[in-house]
Amino acid sequence: MTEHAEALLLSVRPERDSTAEQAAELVARITGDPALRRVDQLAAASGMSVRSLQRLFADYVGVSPKWVMLRARLHEAAERADGGEVVDWAGLAADLGYADQAHLTRDFTATIGIPPTHYAAPPRRAEPLRAEPLRAEPAG
């Protein structure tokens, strides 16, 4: 029985798509190399034109290479914020290729939904509720 099911599945298995594999490799390259900050750098590294990259990403990834690069940088910022250490936001912005801290903060807030300083802040410990003793109301 399992042989028949396996044979059926193998018969409808799609052919390998080398273009999809190329797109996946480029996404992995972006996420694995923080030095890649601009689409023209990726184009030079991959031997493709900027326009070819844009078409490839639109067709196979669904977003632009610039979008993937931005998300990779913001993911790096979030990981560093989660590291438990005090974050030098201006230094981090420079490390990630931002012109200044304000640009990092704007992109982070727009994407994550909260400013990076709030994201990195340790969770506040809830103070225990202190019940006041009930006082009898004066009869009257």
Distance CA 63, CA 72 (A): 13
In a domain, 130, yes or no: no
What domain range includes position 92?
Answer: 18-113
Based on the structure, what is the number of domains in the chain?
1
Lookup result for tokens 């030079």:
44
Q: What is the pLDDT of residue 34?
A: 86
Q: How many CA atoms lie within 13 A of 134 on its CB side?
A: 2
Average pLDDT rounded to a whole number, residues 133-137: 63
In a domain, 120, yes or no: no
Give 73's pLDDT tier (boundaries 50, 70, 90): very high
Of 130 and 50, the one with more pLDDT = 50
In a domain, 7, yes or no: no
In a domain, 12, yes or no: no
- Contacting residues for 99 by C-beta, under 8 A, at least 6 apart: 93
For the domain that residue 97 is a member of, what is the CATH number?
A: 1.10.10.60
pLDDT digits (tens, 9 = 90+) for 82-93: 887 888 999 999
In a domain, 3, yes or no: no
Which among 58, 66, 73 has a CA at the least distance from the CA of 106? 73
In a domain, 140, yes or no: no
pLDDT digits (tens, 9 = 90+) for 34-70: 889 899 999 999 999 999 999 999 999 999 999 999 9
pLDDT of residue 140 exceeding 60, the answer is: no
Average pLDDT rounded to a whole number, residues 2-25: 87
Distance CA 51, CA 55 (A): 6
Q: Strand, coil or helix: what is 100?
A: coil
Write down the pTM of the prediction.
0.73
Token representation of residue 84: 């438990």
